[in-house]
Structure 1
Amino acid sequence: MASELGLPPPAKGPPATPTTIAAISYDLLCEIFLLLPSLPSLVRAALACRTFLNAVRSSPAFRRRFRALHPPQLLGFFGEPRRAPVPPFVPLRSRSDPDLAAAVRGSDFFLTRLPEDSGDSTLGWKLQSFHGGYVVLVKDATHQIAAYNPVTQALHLLPRPPEEILFSDSLEAHIVFSEEDQRVFRVVCVQHQSTRLRAPACVAVFSTATREWQVFPWVETSPPPPPPPPPRDFIKFYPGTQLNGFVYWKHTSRPYVLVLNTATVQFSRLDLPPFLGQISSTRFRLGQTKDGMLCMVAIDLSDAERGTLHVWFWTADDDGVEKWVLGDTFLLTTFVDATKDDPTVHIEAVIDGFVYLSTKYDEHTDEHTESLLSLCLETAKLNKLFGDSTYVSPAHPYIMAWPPSLVCHKEDSQTMVTGESVADAAPVGTKETSSVHASASPSYKFD
């Protein structure tokens, strides 16, 4: 119409400025990343470009929110056979999550970076503990300790522990990370002695900062025995459980838990309900809720026809006194098929609000079948992880830790802002080459 009237065409406005990924704020990117289905998916997305990586690394609050919205990232289970050079691993298969499958494929769950044992093949590496994505193992023949992250393939080989704590097979090793920097850690080794009336324990600590062992004096950890002491009540503890900077050992026949504060290297005791005194390790586990609260799960078989699973929480009452408070109770028929012969339920682990249970049928025959379940303490949702005959108890869940490459340390802040390098962030499904850390000299420090 304007051309027909002889008027000039309307002037065109300036071209729109193209929107780039750099124009999206870190806060908005983090909101988008919260919608991703799993931790491996977040790792893959964060490593797509420096902007994505900086957004994730810049916000500790985002890490807390992501963990709160997503369950622990289970990648599979390590077995514990009697004779094997390295513990076998059974991966969790998920066709619905290709990033999870890529994380499993790209990890070294065969533990190939561990030094080989040139002697007896039955004297291999024995599982000790799991924490922060690391598997801690001890070599049977030499007592050498290795801390290995199968996902990042970071391997730390420690010098042989001091002779003071190597006199029996009850040595335990637990890895403790610095709150400020996961690249700095300590390995706490604990040795228990077992006698009828006493339970002394010794602690040795190896620090990556000093590359030395520090041995602490032997201390008595047992309360006075009730009079008269049982004739064969030898003091003994089940393997320890590490939670929030503490290690807990359940006594095999008395209703208490021995507690080690790994920061102060001080022992204390935590009483249990009396009927938990002689409960076996397969029917009792300590763990923590989704919010980090200490909890315990136990199987009560006092009623043979209606066995139950109880959940307690360590919390304060109305007077501010901390004690065990009974939470949920589940019938064992919730987890087993009552139509099958000789069903049993074992508690494998309690991790971040999830109870991992193994079920078994016809245990005393050569044709028994086993499966693995997870129970969410928050929602009471039951999930079958492995079908019959594909899982063998006992085994240890391997939980993928938050990758160090997605955490900004103080010395990394300048790199994050300028985007100079993301070399430490290996994509999911690829191998990260890490140097093997070992002590330059086997010098020990005794205090």
Structure 2
Amino acid sequence: MASDLGQPPPAKRPPTAPTTITAIGDDLLCEIFLLLPSLPSLVRAALACRTFLHAVRSSPAFRRRFRALHPPQILGFFCDPGREAVPPFVPLRSRSDPDLTAAVRGADFLLTRIPEDSGDSTLGWELQSFHGGYVVLVNNATDQIAAYNPLTQALHLFPHPPEDIIFSISPEFHILFSEEDQSVFRMVCVQHQDTPSLAVFSTATSEWQVFPWVETPPHPEGDVRLFYPGTQLNGFVYWKHASQAYVLALNTVTMQFSRLSLPHFLAEIEDMLFRLGQTKDGKLCMVGVDDSDAKIGTLVVRVWGADDDGVEKWMLEDTFSLSTFIDVTKSSTEYDSTVQIEAFIDGFVYLCIKYGEHTESLISLCLETGKLNKIFDDTYTSPAHPYFMSWPPSLVCNKVSPCLSTLVKYFQMFGP
């Protein structure tokens, strides 16, 4: 009978499907990645598996949010090379961020792939500019131009422009490429002194092409045309004039020149006291030291934008007293403490603070929050060039099959 047999056994439930990493959507993964401490940590996480890599590569919005939440990652600085063969590099050491340490350890900051001089030259390689992780150097002894990425170890060599195009002893070079595709790029050479000239080397044609120089408004009679080294931002290269209150701007798409006026107090300001950069949301911005008041020097921040009447100009954004950046415990009555601007990247201003003749520190100032962060204490040496880690192409390119060599190099860099 049924009573003797008891109740029928309950029906078996189907086994629960195991949860795998592929069950987590890209949106949730990106929210998790935003909590990582730095770009090196993100690189290491993204290259752990194809699912993580796809989440990062497929979302430009995520990359913008990550940049807004995390300051530009400085890996160290290149010292003024003097007459050394290659510029020496001083790395940033961080015990609190092992991924940052791994990035520094895995990169080639000794520039070992840069060709050595074939002759008995003491000139060595001269630093020119930095962009997208690339270091641009010039060797006047061998007439070579090198663009080298110490992280990916990608090296590109270019011939010097012919003398009938560029004959100045100190032309300036900048590498141009799209963030989405660094395999196609151009090298721009600008000669400001003597006869102003503009030449561009394209990887498509493998030759230099001369572009017309669009003259800016005339200079006073007898004035010597001289510009400080250029700054590359959002498709433009900007040069501050050394004795007049304006910036010369080159549109790297149209190769046309224009100029932006500056506040009058910046007319004859030294290069170390002025920088162009951009805010976290990408607006063109300038910082300059106003020391017209001998007692109270200020760091002035202005953003390029339209006023209430729709006229574009430099609008005052903020001011900071220079005393804000001075460590009173290091100040000396014998020597004055001085403040210099070393770099301006994505809303962060990097300041070199000199105490006397030998002691120097490097600090960062977040323009959005006013927060100060000490990066190098008593070990910084000016003049120098801070090197910032750029987003590797493997985290940006949206092609189905990424460049395997680039991926392998990053796996090696962030290995255990």
TM bracket (short chain)? over 0.9
CA distance in 2, matches of 1:211, 1:348: 34
Question: Which residue of structure 1 lines up, in the alignment, with residue 344 of structure 2?
Answer: 350
Question: Which residue of structure 1 lines up, in the alignment, with residue 29 of structure 2?
Answer: 29
What secondary structure does 1:104 align onto? helix
Larger displacement relative to structure 2 (139-148 or 99-108): 139-148
Question: Which residue of structure 1 lines up, in the alignment, with residue 231 of structure 2?
Answer: 241
1:401 counterpart (381, 390, 396): 390
Question: Which residue of structure 1 lines up, in the alignment, with residue 268 of structure 2?
Answer: 278
List runs of 5+ in structure 2 lacking aligned partners. none
Question: Which residue of structure 1 lines up, in the alignment, with residue 258 of structure 2?
Answer: 268
Q: In the alignment, is the contact (CA less than 8 A) between 2:214 and 2:256 conserved in 1?
A: no
Larger displacement relative to structure 2 (215-224 or 327-336): 215-224
What secondary structure does 1:291 align onto? coil
Larger displacement relative to structure 2 (172-181 or 38-47): 172-181
Question: Which residue of structure 2 lines up, in the alignment, with residue 435 of structure 1?
Answer: none
CA distance in 2, matches of 1:373, 1:270: 29
CA distance in 2, matches of 1:156, 1:117: 16
CA distance in 2, matches of 1:218, 1:265: 9
Matched AA of 1:215: V
2:210 counterpart (210, 215, 220): 215
Aligned pairs for 1:165-314 within 5 A: 165-178=165-178, 180-194=180-194, 200-221=195-216, 223-225=218-220, 229=221, 233-314=223-304
In the TM superposition, what is the alpha-carbon distance from 1:191 to its structure 2 partner?
Answer: 0.6
Deviations 1:1-60 (A, max 9, x none): xx9993344333121111111222222222221221111111111111112112222222
Question: Which residue of structure 2 lines up, in the alignment, with residue 83 of structure 1?
Answer: 83
Question: Which residue of structure 1 lines up, in the alignment, with residue 306 of structure 2?
Answer: 316
Question: Which residue of structure 2 lines up, in the alignment, with residue 424 of structure 1?
Answer: 406
Question: Which residue of structure 2 lines up, in the alignment, with residue 374 of structure 1?
Answer: 364
In the TM superposition, what is the alpha-carbon distance from 1:324 to its structure 2 partner?
Answer: 0.5
Question: Which residue of structure 2 lines up, in the alignment, with residue 445 of structure 1?
Answer: none
In the TM superposition, what is the alpha-carbon distance from 1:255 to its structure 2 partner?
Answer: 0.9
Residues 384 and 142 (structure 1 numbering): CA distance in 2 closer, same or farther, change over 3 Å? same
Q: In the alignment, is the contact (CA less than 8 A) between 1:84 and 1:121 conserved in 2?
A: no
In the TM superposition, what is the alpha-carbon distance from 1:321 to its structure 2 partner?
Answer: 1.2
Question: Which residue of structure 2 lines up, in the alignment, with residue 392 of structure 1?
Answer: 381
1:360 counterpart (354, 367, 379): 354
What secondary structure does 1:203 align onto? strand
Q: In the alignment, is the contact (CA less than 8 A) between 1:45 and 1:52 conserved in 2?
A: yes
Q: In the alignment, is the contact (CA less than 8 A) between 2:272 and 2:341 conserved in 1?
A: yes
Aligned pairs for 1:150-165 within 5 A: 150-165=150-165
Deviations 1:66-94 (A, max 9, x none): 22221112111111232211111111111
Residues 165 and 84 (structure 1 numbering): CA distance in 2 closer, same or farther, change over 3 Å? farther
In the TM superposition, what is the alpha-carbon distance from 1:63 to its structure 2 partner?
Answer: 1.6
What secondary structure does 1:61 align onto? helix
Residues 179 and 134 (structure 1 numbering): CA distance in 2 closer, same or farther, change over 3 Å? closer
Matched AA of 2:406: D
- Highest RCO, 1 vs 2 (Cα 8 Å, sep ≥ 6): 1
The size of the alignment, in residue pairs, is: 409
Root-mean-square deviation (Å): 2.2
In the TM superposition, what is the alpha-carbon distance from 1:399 to its structure 2 partner?
Answer: 1.3
In the TM superposition, what is the alpha-carbon distance from 1:373 to its structure 2 partner?
Answer: 0.8
Q: In the alignment, is the contact (CA less than 8 A) between 2:47 and 2:411 conserved in 1?
A: no
Q: In the alignment, is the contact (CA less than 8 A) between 1:144 and 1:161 conserved in 2?
A: no
Q: In the alignment, is the contact (CA less than 8 A) between 1:202 and 1:219 conserved in 2?
A: no
Matched AA of 2:277: G
Question: Could you tell me the TM-score, scaled by structure 2's length?
Answer: 0.92
Q: In the alignment, is the contact (CA less than 8 A) between 1:102 and 1:428 conserved in 2?
A: no
Residues 108 and 222 (structure 1 numbering): CA distance in 2 closer, same or farther, change over 3 Å? farther
Question: Which residue of structure 2 lines up, in the alignment, with residue 61 of structure 1?
Answer: 61
Matched AA of 2:253: A
Q: In the alignment, is the contact (CA less than 8 A) between 2:166 and 2:197 conserved in 1?
A: no
Residues 330 and 138 (structure 1 numbering): CA distance in 2 closer, same or farther, change over 3 Å? same
Residues 219 and 6 (structure 1 numbering): CA distance in 2 closer, same or farther, change over 3 Å? closer
In the TM superposition, what is the alpha-carbon distance from 1:428 to its structure 2 partner?
Answer: 4.2
Residues 163 and 431 (structure 1 numbering): CA distance in 2 closer, same or farther, change over 3 Å? farther
CA distance in 1, matches of 2:82, 2:166: 21
In the TM superposition, what is the alpha-carbon distance from 1:360 to its structure 2 partner?
Answer: 0.9
CA distance in 1, matches of 2:313, 2:277: 15
In the TM superposition, what is the alpha-carbon distance from 1:175 to its structure 2 partner?
Answer: 0.8
Question: Which residue of structure 2 lines up, in the alignment, with residue 146 of structure 1?
Answer: 146
Matched AA of 2:95: R
Matched AA of 1:395: A
CA distance in 2, matches of 1:140, 1:180: 32
Question: Which residue of structure 2 lines up, in the alignment, with residue 436 of structure 1?
Answer: none
Residues 422 and 27 (structure 1 numbering): CA distance in 2 closer, same or farther, change over 3 Å? farther
In the TM superposition, what is the alpha-carbon distance from 1:426 to its structure 2 partner?
Answer: 3.0
